[in-house]
Structure 1
Amino acid sequence: MNGKSLFNHLFILTDDTGMMQHSIGSTPNPKYGYTTDDNARAIIASAMMYEMYKEEKFLNLIKRYLSFLMYAQDEDGYFRNFMTYDRKFIDDDFSEDCFGRCMWALGYLLDSPLDDRIKLPASKLIEKSLSIIDDLKYIRGKAYTLIGLYHIYNAENKFKKDFIKGKIVNLTNDIIKWYEKNSNDDWKWFEGTVSYDNGIIPLSLLKSFIVLKDEKILDIALESLEFLDSICFRNGYFKAVGCKGWYERGKNIAEFDEQPVEAYTMALMYIDAYNVTGNEKYRERALACDDWFYGKNSKGVSLYDESSGGCSDAITDYGVNSNEGAESLISIIISHCATSELK
């Protein structure tokens, strides 16, 4: 697949502020402004694109999105999330998901082969936010942050390895406690509901195992992965848990809407599981998650729009959502780049 044409929509959604959140069809809708969530994940997507295609235009995007995060971070190290089209942040509550996604993106940037001058602001943003990590309460915020800490630990930078490793240990123990509290023989999961960004949690434990080499961490990562696998591949192809109801313990699995974020996060999860275990099944599953975008799904329709280079926002009960927003675009880019090494 031609990456240059696949990702044209990336440049349409991005203006001189950052990546806009929503589109009507393939046209950006400025009414809903921007989110730090999207701009953080767009850093990862653009860095992956640069690593694959070595085109300077992706470096320029990284700088744009990184600048957005610089503006979003307050003096205490927290990140504001929702920005209007006239560049005013409007949210008062701290989003742990947003914080964790920022830490993941910044850590990924430090761990990349990019120029140190691009990494410098990422390092400064991380330094200001490290003190917040110990106060995180929610599992996904912890999981995103744990992935970011893995990359910070893995990279050559000014942060002391033992200090970062200690935070990895603490977050890992917290996530394991969620698992031990909520799982049983029939429900190998961290919560009473399988909801959103599910692959992130086993992925974070796989990252932790790579650093800590603790077999208990790997066992829980693979148990929870296999539980997700039994749900999302119950029909022989990838089918995400629907966002209209999720999957609550003892109840039916929601069929729709299937969201692109589930496909790319589970692809990343399977890739790490394959790299750690060598199990060929996980490589095939990662590729199947990527294939979901191009028609190997419950509706047999492609979410990729060849004319715009964008991605539909969801699979619904009637087909595909015709809007092409930021999260879906980021999802297809990261999935494409991450799985390309397996093909």
Structure 2
Amino acid sequence: MSGELPIPVFGHLVRMTDHRATFEHAALDEPRTEHGYCTDDMARVLVVTSRQPESSGDINRLAGIALRFLGDAQALTGACRNRMNAAGKWTDEPSLDDCWGRCLWGLGTAVAHSDVVWVRKSALVQFERAAQVRSPSPRAMAYAALGAAEVLTAHPDHRAARKMITDYAVSVPQPNGDPSWPWPEPRLTYANAVLPEAIIAAGVALEAPSLWQRGVDLLGWLLDLETSDDHLSPTPAGGRGPGDTGPAFDQQPIEVSCLADACARAAVVDPAARWNDGVRAAASWFTGANDTGQVMWDPETGGGFDGLQADGVNRNQGTESTLAVISTLQHAQRISLLQR
């Protein structure tokens, strides 16, 4: 993991985006317009565009498109639709699924980090609407808690954000006492690292060191489990349970980017070198330090490849995978700048 890591490239993301939103899927590097758009992706677009330093006109335009999309996705109750077709028609009903939590995450990140005043103000209004409700889904609530934590960095007395993160903290399960499988679920599934990341974020926001330490400990276990020799070997799309051995495929870029997000957050509260090393390992996964030595992105355009297989790479460059590359390289770039 030595050597200079690349910087984020937004070209493919811009090319995947029209006046409505960013298309969800691609056939190689061509947008598959027939599959339309989704809130999950547009929340992630708002995250990466809001935290990109010295953002350009194209990046700010993407942020504006994402913010408008998320506003349209919200019902007055705060619930969110997830899927819009290429004609601009919503195809599902508002829910409190992951799209709701990711919407709050994207909006909170914009409130805390956007360079554009109207984006910050509009995002806060939308955040307050979505924060009226709660989800029964642990991952949706984890994403919502991350958004609330971001809002509190900019507005420490924000009541709705504080109530959201307090409610989340109360819902976090107690440690199960099993050192071999401390995970709060019987299997690892998807976006796993968001769970310990949200616990860390809640502990920091509520000034509860014992809570954030639980998140750090859980993340450390996950990072150890998903590290093989000197590279990451993330949980595949089919999940991973006690006793499962790796490597296993189909590995998804979102698992790598979630781990980078969580390690970057852990590094703020814990000086251990392993967290910055975890971010670098995540970035290096995309550049070839993985179970099969395959490059998982196009460094010219920034497009991310959709999956690592035992016998090769799924070279379709969907939006989720592209955003995973951008997000991970943003963290790696920030660490590099801090250590110069």
- For the 8 Å contact 1:200–1:269, the answer to whether it is kept is yes
Tell me the percent identity.
Answer: 24
Alpha-carbon distance in 2 for matches of 1:333, 1:167:
28
For residues 311-339 of structure 1, give each alpha carbon's deviation from its aligned partner in whole angstroms, at most 9, with x where no partner exists: 10110121110100000011111111122
Alpha-carbon distance in 2 for matches of 1:282, 1:303:
22
- In the alignment, structure 2 segments of 5+ residues that lack a partner are none
Partner amino acid for 1:58? Answer: I
Alpha-carbon distance in 2 for matches of 1:203, 1:78:
23
Q: Give the C-alpha shift of residue 93 in structure 1.
A: 6.3
- For the 8 Å contact 2:37–2:84, the answer to whether it is kept is yes
Partner of 2:190: 196
Answer with 231-240 or 26-35: which moved more: 231-240
For residues 94-128 of structure 1, give each alpha carbon's deviation from its aligned partner in whole angstroms, at most 9, with x where no partner exists: 24211010000000000015232122221221121
Partner amino acid for 2:219? Answer: L
Alpha-carbon distance in 1 for matches of 2:332, 2:6:
15
C-alpha change, 1:126 and 1:270, in structure 2 (3 Å) is: same
1:193 partner SS: coil
- In the alignment, structure 1 segments of 5+ residues that lack a partner are none
CA RMSD in angstroms comes to: 1.9
Matching of residue 34 in structure 1 with residue 51 in structure 2 = no
1:315 partner SS: strand
Alpha-carbon distance in 2 for matches of 1:278, 1:306:
31
C-alpha change, 1:187 and 1:3, in structure 2 (3 Å) is: closer
Alpha-carbon distance in 2 for matches of 1:254, 1:242:
9
Alpha-carbon distance in 1 for matches of 2:324, 2:114:
22
Of 236, 242, 253, 1:260 maps to 253
- For the 8 Å contact 2:143–2:194, the answer to whether it is kept is yes
- For the 8 Å contact 1:42–1:65, the answer to whether it is kept is yes
For residues 209-259 of structure 1, give each alpha carbon's deviation from its aligned partner in whole angstroms, at most 9, with x where no partner exists: 21222232123112211221121003331111111x211234445701111
Partner of 1:283: 276
Partner of 2:165: 168
C-alpha change, 1:162 and 1:119, in structure 2 (3 Å) is: closer
Matching of residue 247 in structure 1 with residue 247 in structure 2 = no
Alpha-carbon distance in 2 for matches of 1:164, 1:237:
37
Alpha-carbon distance in 2 for matches of 1:141, 1:238:
25
- For the 8 Å contact 2:25–2:32, the answer to whether it is kept is yes
Matching of residue 297 in structure 1 with residue 300 in structure 2 = no
Partner amino acid for 2:92? Answer: D
Partner of 1:61: 62
Q: Give the C-alpha shift of residue 25 in structure 1.
A: 0.4
For residues 108-154 of structure 1, give each alpha carbon's deviation from its aligned partner in whole angstroms, at most 9, with x where no partner exists: 00001523212222122112122113xx1111011000000001111
Q: Give the C-alpha shift of residue 306 in structure 1.
A: 3.4
TM-score (norm 2): 0.92
Mapping 1:49-88, distance limit 5 Å: 49=52, 51=53, 53-88=54-89
Of 44, 48, 72, 1:45 maps to 48
Q: Give the C-alpha shift of residue 310 in structure 1.
A: 0.8
Partner of 2:330: 337
C-alpha change, 1:47 and 1:113, in structure 2 (3 Å) is: closer
Alpha-carbon distance in 1 for matches of 2:165, 2:300:
43
Partner amino acid for 2:269? Answer: V
Partner amino acid for 1:21? Answer: E
Alpha-carbon distance in 1 for matches of 2:295, 2:113:
31
Of 259, 263, 270, 2:263 maps to 270
- For the 8 Å contact 2:302–2:326, the answer to whether it is kept is no
- For the 8 Å contact 2:7–2:333, the answer to whether it is kept is no
Of 318, 323, 330, 2:311 maps to 318
Structure (1 or 2) with the greater helix fraction: 1
For residues 261-287 of structure 1, give each alpha carbon's deviation from its aligned partner in whole angstroms, at most 9, with x where no partner exists: 111111111112122111012111111
1:311 partner SS: coil
Partner amino acid for 1:145? Answer: A
Partner of 1:230: 224
For residues 41-91 of structure 1, give each alpha carbon's deviation from its aligned partner in whole angstroms, at most 9, with x where no partner exists: 101112233x2x431221111001111112111222211001111111112
TM-score (norm 1): 0.91
Partner amino acid for 1:321? Answer: N
Alpha-carbon distance in 1 for matches of 2:69, 2:221:
37
Alpha-carbon distance in 1 for matches of 2:261, 2:121:
26
Alpha-carbon distance in 1 for matches of 2:222, 2:285:
16
Matching of residue 25 in structure 1 with residue 25 in structure 2 = no
Alpha-carbon distance in 1 for matches of 2:335, 2:229:
23
What is the number of equivalent residue pairs in this alignment? 332
